[in-house]
Amino acid sequence: MTILDAERPGDTRGFGDRLRDNILLRLVLRWVVLVGMAVFAYWSTLDAILVEAKSGTLITYLPAAVVLTLMACIGIGLRQGDEFPIYDRQTDIIVGTVTLVLSLCIEAMLTPRYASTYLSLHIDLLSMWLFLLGGAVMLFGLRPVARYRWAWFLLLSIFPLPYRILVITFGATRVAASIVMLILAVGAAAVAVGRTRRRGLAGAALAAVAGIMVLVALKVYAPDAPIYVYQWVPPVACVFVTGVVMYIDQRRDWGHLKPLERPLNPITAPDVLRGTIFTALVAVLITLIPVPDIRPSAGVTVPGLNMTPPLSVPSNWRQVSVKPYDVSSLYGPGAAATRQDLRQAEGDVKYDKFSRPRKVVVDAITTSRPLTLDVYSTIVDYNLVGDRFSRRVPVPLPHGMNGVLQTIVDDTNFLTYNRLVWRWNDGGVAQQVSLISVDDHEPDAIFPQPQLTLWRNVNSLITVLFRGNSVTEDKTPVFKDRDLLVMCASDLIETQIDKIGQVSS
C-alpha cells in the first residue's frame, strides 16, 4: 500500500492503522518528537547561542553548519539503500542508552567544569550532538543511523571549538570564517553526491571551485557584509550548485531526467515506545542542569566618557610606552585596543622595599559588542598556557565601578601576577580595562603579552578534562599588589572622569 492509499476517501480503518501505513508521516512525527525533546532539553543552551549570535560572534556559523548537514542527508537519502527490518532491538537500546547517558554526563560534569570558558567552548553543544545521536538510535534504529554516519560526523561541527581555533589561526577575518566553512561544505558535498568514491571526489572538487568563486565575488561586491553572510552564502551555495549539477549528471547517465522518485523504504524499527520514553526521561534530567547565565555586561554607564584608547595618564604616573593592537576581527567593527606601560612617578616603600617605582601594565579594549569580552576571555587574549588562576574577588572602585581581582601563577618563570579588571561604557560603547602587576619588580620583568592563543590553550583544556580544575587553579592566592592596583585604578578612573568635565566646560 502506498502513502496515497492511506488517504483515499472512504478508508474506514482507524487512525492507528492509517498511521502505520503512512511511512512519511511516521518519519516526520519521529523527527518532530526527537527535535522537540532536544529543544526542550537544551533550551538554555539555545537561548545562550541566540544571545551570542546577536552580538555578532563566530557562533553565527551554526545555522549554516546545520543546513550543510541536512543537504548531505538529502543526498544520502536519494540513494537506494534497502534495509532489513529490525525485530530484536536489544543492540539499539544498549547503544542508544549509552549515548544518551554520556550526553547527560557531559552536560552535568563538563559544562560546570568549563564554566569560566563557557562561551568559548560550548561543551553543551557536544552534549546536544550526543543526545540527538542517541535519540535517533532509539527512534530509528542503529542501522539507519549508521547509514547516515558521515552526516552525523558533519553535524559534530556544531561543537564550536575546532571552528574557533581554525578561524583564529587563519586571522579571524570574514574571509577566514568563510574558508573554514568551505572546508565543511566540501565535505558535505562529497557526502551528498558520493554514490561512488570517484563521484565523491568530483563533487568535492566542484564544491571547492564554486565556493571560492562565490567567496571572491562576495569579497569584491560586498566586502563589508556581516560575517554571517560570509559564513552562510559561499558554503551553502556551493553545495547546492554541486548537488544540482551532479544530480542532473547522474540522471543523464540513466537516460532520463525525471524528478525525485526515490521510494520510501518501510520503517525498520516499528516499536520505539520504550526508547522514546527513555529519551524523554534524559531530556527532563538535562533541563534540571543549570547553564551559566549569559547576558552582555557593559559595566557602569558614564555619559560623555572618552572610549578611545589609550587612557589618559594620571599625574602621579608616567607612561613608558603605548602600543595599539588590532582586535576588530574578534570584538567587532570599530573595536580598538592598546597596551600602556605605566610606572609610578615616585617609588613608595609600601609597594617596594627599595622604593623603586612599580610598573603596571594597562590593557584597554573598546567594543560595541560587550558580550565578546566574555567570549574571548583571558584564554584567548593572553599567552597563559599552563598558568594557574585564582578565584575572582570583587573589588569596589570609585564612582560605583565594580572591579574583579585575580592572581595568575606562572610556574614556568616562577612569577605571580595580580590582575584587576573593570568595565564601563558611555551609553553605546563598552570598554574593559585590565591592570596587571608582577611580583618581579625589575624593569625588565616579564608580563603576559596580548596575542591570540586559543590553539595553544587546547592543551590546558584537555588537562582540565582529565584532571579537573584543580590543575589550573591557584587555591591559595596572595594579592600582594591589591593596594597598588586599586590605587592605579582609582587614579585612572578619576583622571578619565575629570576629562569629561574639562571637555564639557
- Render each residue's pLDDT in the chain as its tens digit; 505 residues: 344 444 445 545 555 555 555 677 888 889 999 999 999 999 999 999 998 888 888 899 999 999 999 999 999 888 766 666 666 678 889 999 999 999 999 999 888 877 777 888 888 999 999 999 999 999 988 888 988 999 999 999 999 988 988 888 887 789 999 999 999 999 999 999 988 889 999 999 999 999 999 999 999 999 889 899 999 999 999 999 999 888 887 776 655 555 555 566 667 666 788 889 999 999 999 999 988 877 778 889 999 898 888 999 999 999 999 999 888 777 888 889 999 999 998 888 998 888 899 999 999 999 988 888 888 776 666 766 667 888 889 999 999 999 999 998 887 888 889 999 999 999 889 999 999 999 988 888 888 887 665 555 566 566 555 445 555 667 788 889 999 999 999 999 999 998 886 654 4
Helix (H, G, I), strand (E, B) or coil at 299: coil
For residue 69, what pLDDT is reported? Answer: 96
For residue 452, what pLDDT is reported? Answer: 62
Comparing CA positions, the residue from 433, 420, 401 lying closest to residue 336 is 433
For residue 291, what pLDDT is reported? Answer: 85
For residue 471, what pLDDT is reported? Answer: 52
How many CA within 13 A on the CB side of residue 188? 31
Total-model pTM: 0.85
Enter the C-alpha cell of residue 160.
564550536
CB neighbour burial string for 84-102, b if at least 16 within 10 angstroms, e if fewer: eebeebeebbebbbebbeb
What's the CA dihedral at 241, 243, 244, 248 to 10 degrees?
A: 140
CB neighbour burial string for 60-78, b if at least 16 within 10 angstroms, e if fewer: bbbebbebbbebbbebbbb
What span, in angstroms and rounded, lies between the C-alpha atoms of 167 and 178? 9
What span, in angstroms and rounded, lies between the C-alpha atoms of 295 and 50? 11
313, containing H or E segment: none
For residue 133, what pLDDT is reported? Answer: 97
For residue 7, what pLDDT is reported? Answer: 46
Counting every residue written for the chain, the total comes to: 505
